[in-house]
Structure 1
Amino acid sequence: MAEIDKTRQILETVMVIPAGKVATYGQIADLAGLPGRARLVGSSLRSEFDGAEVPWQRVLRADGKIAFPSGSPKAEEQRQILIAEGVCVKNNRVSLADYRWQPDMATILSALKY
């Protein structure tokens, strides 16, 4: 499978995360059919995607933390966007127990194009 196809799968998966919910890099890799490729999720989020608005802010580390360094402009931007979407962010961390996106298989299959 070509890297561009993998990137497309990842970004299409991220685009399905609803506002007010978050997912981890590893979770997105799993849902995109790429288990163990959490780092690829991170690099894919930095790429272009046909001009589509990809909700990158909804993807967090496995411990619920924002991946950008605390106090950095990108960390603050991500924090502010998540708060505006109704997600509680404390110390640059989101409670995955409260806000993790848990789609069922029907949701995944109906929303994804690959």
Structure 2
Amino acid sequence: MSKLDEDLIYEILSVVEEIPEGCVVSYGQIAKLIGRDKNSRLVGKVLSRAEFYGEYPCHRVVNHAGRIAPGWWEQRLLLEDEGVQFKENGCVDMKKYQWKC
């Protein structure tokens, strides 16, 4: 990762930390919450390395359509353990489970 501002990293992770169990948010939603509307990819980059900063419920972050991270099959299991259900297409129902923050 190119050198990212530590304050920005913790700003993103502090939002993730607040996501209630059984809810999801999108990368874009987090970007908007921190005042960086166009930086959803930056949010994804930070979350892909979140384990270096502590334990955060990154499994609660999906894309805008409710799709989970490719190659991270455990994400679905973690969400299902919290009561989040998936539609037939494999996506989270954002209307039902998106955190209204």
* TM-score normalised to structure 2 length: 0.86
Which stretches in structure 1 are left out of the alignment for 5+ residues? 104-114
Q: Which runs of 4+ in 1 moved over 3 A?
A: none
Equivalences, count: 95
Q: Distance in 2 between matches of 1:101 and 1:8?
A: 20
- Paired position in structure 2 for 1:13: 15
Distance in 2 (CA, whole Å) between partners of 1:34 and 1:12 is: 15
When the two structures are superposed, what TM-score results if normalisation uses the length of structure 1?
A: 0.77
Q: Give the root-mean-square deviation of aligned CA atoms.
A: 1.3
Note the C-alpha offset of 1:46.
1.9
Per the alignment, in what secondary structure is the counterpart of residue 20 of structure 1? Answer: coil
Match of 1:24 in 2: 26
Asked if 2 retains the 8 angstrom alpha-carbon contact of 1:82 and 1:89, the reply is: no
* Structure 2 partner of 1:84: 81
CA deviations on 1:69-94 (whole Å, 9 max, x unpaired) are xxx4x1x2000000000100233300
Counterpart position of 1:96? 94
Distance 1:39 1:5 in 2: 17
- Measure the CA separation in 1 of the matches of 2:90 and 2:6: 31
